[in-house]
Structure 1
Amino acid sequence: MFAAMIGAISNFMYSYLLIAMLVGVGLYFTFRTRLVQARLFGETIRVILERPVGKDAVSSFQALMVSTASRVGTGNIIGISTAICLGGYGAVFWMWVIAIVGGASAFIESTLAQIYKKRGDHGSYGGPAYYIEAAIGSRGLAVLFSIALIATYGVGFNMLCAYNLQSTFIAYSFYDPNTTPWIIGAILAVLVGYCLFGGGRRVIKATSTLVPLMGVIYITVAFVLTLLNINLLPEVIGKIFSQAFDFQAIFSGFAGSCLMFGIKRGLYSNEAGVGSAPNAAAAADVSHPVKQGLVQMLSVFIDTLLICTATAFMCLTSGIAPVKELAGAPYVQEALAATMGGGAKAFITVSMVLFAFTTLLGNLYYVDNCFAYILKKLPSATFNTVYRTIACVVIFIGAGSSMGLMWDLADVLMGCMAIINLPVICILGNTALRAMDDYTAQRAAGKNPEFKAANIGITQKLDYWQD
């Protein structure tokens, strides 16, 4: 009953509301920024290579790595597999579309996060809750967004992440669908709890070191396997475009169409416009807010146009047909096994364990920040104990739940964040656009742009950009 209700809400949200909002806002800002995704792409690369302004400052490149690490995870592997198996080849095209137009939305929201960031004991911080309160003046809406983020990352995404992790073990002979998910969920919950309650610093340090390395290895393997099967690539690309524009098939079953799955899974992977990446963007130390807007726009492209595409091409050129029965980890494992042989299962399992574990902890970091915003102070020790215990229980439950429910719940909660954040950035968009014009004018004059809030008409007191 509950699963059917969540599924119905998800289909309604993405059929009638969010597709129009995501694509509409993305196209609006693509037009208003005069195609910033292409026009300032070279400038984006220059900004990333800039050195930090101080010894302990967070550079644009470091902020890019943080936001990319938060985006790159199970969605890039399991999410893409699910989209292809359930939506068909055409889902890849609509995934690209949401990334390209969503890049403009990511630029706006992250620029706003920089403008309205707050000064803390250990540097700057901020995000949608802070620019909602500062620029719109509605703490109630900011709190509502924070609650939506807590529900999304602390419940929906972590339950789905736990499910995706345990699903990679389906390929092994010892897997029993009645018991194995719960056993893996229990182990995962204990490990996360060990880290959350302060005992897992070595575990966190080790996984944080291994994940970037694993990401590079994963992309390299995907690239090599695609090259080995490159003779099939033209046929795959042809099917991606032909199915993407098969509108008769799309509108005859919209809820299960390539368009629906491409946008859902693309959004889940890159989070453009959802309001999560601005939390990382606000931490960067840059001379102008637009620099971080450009960096976060590139992060969307790296996530979807590079990593998700690598997964899609690797799977689709394997010769293994994407069918509903293989949706999720099994399709990726079968596709790799077709070229790699027996090592494919272990490779995907290790990748997923590392990606999922750091994703779980990273998600809860976002939750910590939102609780601090709502409470206007750091939560007490008792509060943290209760919340972290609940977080571990949620992970355990997610591992043993059904695939359909977990994806639908994550989609609905993520959609709630987007429904709040997208109208807000439309309302505040002119501020970010004026900042962009200020930046490009300074660059045209041969300067390294420096931002002053008064130069774009901001008269309210900010923690930064006053001098």
Structure 2
Amino acid sequence: MLTEIIDMLDKIVWSPPLVFGLLITGLLFSIVTRFAQVRQFKEMIRLLFKGEKSPQGISSFQAISLSLAGRVGTGNIVGVSAAIFIGGPGAVFWMWVTALLGASTAFVESTLGQIYKQKENGEYRGGPAYYIENGIGGKFGKVFALIFAVITIISIGLLMPGVQSNAIATSLHSAFNIPKWVVTIFLVVLLSLIIFGGIKRIASMATAIVPFMAIAYILLAAVVICLNISQVPELLALIFKSAFGLHSTFGGIIGAMIEIGVKRGLYSNEAGQGTGPHAASAAEVSHPAKQGLVQAFSAYIDTLFVCTATALIILISGTFNTTDGTENAHGKPNLVEDNGIYVLNADGSKDPSGTAMYVQSGIDKAFQGGDYHFDPNFAGFGSYFIAIALFFFAFTTILAYSYITETNTAYLTRKMSAKKSNIFITITRLILIFATAYGTLKTADAAWAMGDLGVGMMAWLNIVAIWILCKPAFHALKDFEQQKKAKGSGKLAVFRPTQQEAPNAYFWFDRAKNDDTLDKQD
């Protein structure tokens, strides 16, 4: 009964208005900023490794690592598999489009997070709840922010950890035959040791793990692609033909292809959902646009690099699936076949969660050569590697969820004494740990449905907020570009907004009064 209710709510929340609304938002923001996510690409790279740091804030690199910890998760492996299963190879193209346009949305929301951040208990805090209350202002702004914070705690702290922990438990059990209860205990202990150390420890772990795991995964994908380089042009052509309905096999599912490609792309890079601004707000920078550009780049890393690596491995394997989204009289998906390319689920049943076996088979095929025969029960190198990759991807995502949940709890309790606030933060940490443990024991379908519902609810609220508040972010970009042009690339760009340019940006108003950064180098 609960599963049916969740599925019904999920379909309402993730209706076409949200999916295409996020795309349109990214497109319009791109036009207004004159495609800053493309024009400022070189500056994104420079700022990534040039960030400041202070006792109150983390560096830009730590912030993007923490943000990528949230973005790079099961969606990059399991989600891409689901996208191709439901929408065909063309879904990959629409994931690329989502990344390009979503980068502008990520810039706006993360810049807003920086503009409206606050210093609480010696640390920078910020995110949608903060910029909604201060940016919109009045009673409406406070109520709106309160609703967002509560829904975020429920979504991120309760609903979404199960998606990640379920993938960890399932993959480790399949590859190494580790009982799920053992995985549950291990996750609970490790998670507790880290998240009770606060933002500094979480950021340190993310910085240590995320770059390593992403590079290792992309390098392995590069090896697989090189071993099958002759297939790449044909597969890229298949992606583009399928994306526009020009391929005979996939031409009839273009609607499902676009929707699932966009949906999984957004689930993966999280642009517009409101998660990225939390990490962005914790960074120490002299100008909000800096962190906005860095966070925009994270959408590229997530989708254009990691997701594309997964997609090519799956397509190279020749064992991917697709369905037109309908079912036959026996409740099985209506599948199509095309000249030797498998479009059949391993056990003949529908798998909306998108298993990782297609990535595994692609890796195994690359290393076994012509003697390879797809066997869903075969645990080769691909199975082991994907299990380990999923562990790191998903575990760091749970760490990011912990920080986001803690930030919104701190927002709701900021007027309480430090002791009372810490009690509530501890409670939310325990809830997240419970949700993680519970997710390891639930089915993939239930975990994904709950995760999708949480993401969708946040996205609806955040997209409305950034439409109302986008002007301060646009001003910040213009101010940053003007300062860099006037001062040269070596001078530090400093943000000194007026009340009209960034209403109620109290942190930056206070900093401007005692600003000593004019002559510093960037």
Q: What is the TM-score with the length of structure 2 in the denominator?
A: 0.80
Matched with 1:401 is 442
Residues 65-76 of structure 1 aligned to structure 2 (within 5 Å): 65-76=65-76
Q: Say which SS state the counterpart of residue 454 (structure 1) adopts.
A: coil
| 2:357 matched residue in structure 1 | 330
Structure 1 residue runs of 5 or longer lacking an equivalent are: none
**Structure 1 range deviating more: 374-383 or 78-87:** 374-383
State the alpha-carbon separation in 2 of the partners of residues 458 and 207 from structure 1.
Answer: 31
Contact 1:130-1:142 within 8 A present in 2 as well: yes
Give the structure 1 partner of residue 316 of structure 2: 317
SS at match of 2:119: strand
Residues of 1 paired with 2:306 and 2:23: CA distance? 21
1:454 corresponding residue in structure 2: 498
For residues 36 and 3 of structure 1, do their structure 2 counterparts lie closer, same or farther at Cα, with a shift above 3 Å needed? same
Partners of 2:106 and 2:296 within 8 A in 1: yes
- Aligned to 1:395, the other structure's residue is in SS state helix
- Determine the structure 1 residue equivalent to 2:277: 278
Contact 1:223/1:314 (8 A) holds in 2: no
| CA contact 1:451–1:465 (8 Å) conserved in 2 | no
Superposed CA deviations along residues 148-172 of structure 1, whole A, max 9, x for unmatched, are 2112211222011111112214534
1:253, CA displacement in angstroms? 6.2
Q: Tell me the secondary structure at the aligned position of residue 453 of structure 1.
A: coil
Tell me the amino acid that sits aligned with residue 153 of structure 1. I
- Structure-2 residue corresponding to 1:168: 171
User: Pairwise mapping of residues 44-443 of structure 1 onto structure 2 (< 5 A)?
Assistant: 44-52=44-52, 58-137=58-137, 138-169=141-172, 171-172=174-175, 174=177, 180-182=179-181, 184-193=183-192, 195-196=194-195, 209-246=208-245, 257-322=256-321, 323=343, 325=345, 327-340=354-367, 342-376=380-414, 377=416, 378=418, 379=420, 383=424, 386-443=427-484
Does 2:28 align with 1:28? yes
Shift of 1:345: 1.7
Q: Structure 1 392/113 Cα, relative in aligned 2: closer, same or farther at 3 Å?
A: closer
- Provide the secondary structure at the position in 2 that maps to 1:463: helix
Partner Cα distance (2:471, 2:206) in 1: 41
- Greater mean alpha carbon deviation, residues 436-445 or residues 411-420: 436-445
Give the conservation status (yes or no) of the 8 Å contact 2:90–2:239: yes
Distance 1:20 1:203 in 2: 34
TM-score, normalised to structure 1's length? 0.89
1:350 and 1:273 mapped to 2: Cα distance? 29
Aligned partner of residue 77 in structure 2, secondary structure: helix
Give the AA of the match of 1:245.
F
1:450 match: secondary structure = coil
Q: CA deviation at 1:277?
A: 0.7
Between 1:395-404 and 1:164-173, the stretch displaced more is 164-173
Residue equivalent to 1:18? 18
Q: How much has 1:317 moved relative to structure 2?
A: 1.6
CA distance in 2, matches of 1:220, 1:19: 32
| Displacement of 1:91 | 1.2
Greater shift in the superposed pair: 4-13 or 81-90: 4-13
The gaps in structure 2 that reach 5 residues or longer are: 322-342, 347-353, 369-379, 513-522
Contact (CA 8 Å) 1:438, 1:456: kept in 2 or not? no
Q: Residue 195 and residue 462 in structure 1: after superposition, are their counterparts in 2 closer, same or farther (change >3 A)? A: closer
8 A Cα contact 1:171 1:330, kept in partner: no
More helix by share: 1
Mark the structure with the bigger radius of gyration.
Answer: 2
Aligned residue identity for 2:405 = V
Measured in 1, the distance between the counterparts of 2:158 and 2:54 equals 37
Task: Write the letter of the residue equivalent to 1:349.
Answer: A
CA RMSD of aligned residues (A): 3.0
Matches of 1:22 and 1:278, distance apart in 2: 16
**Alpha-carbon contact 2:65-2:210 (below 8 Å) kept:** no
Q: Which moved more, 1:95-104 or 1:389-398?
A: 389-398
Deviations 1:404-442 (A, max 9, x none): 222122111111111011111111111111222222222
Query: How big is each residue's C-alpha offset from its partner over 1:7-54, in whole Å with a ceiling of 9 and x where there is no partner?
Result: 233233333321121011111111111111212222222323435266
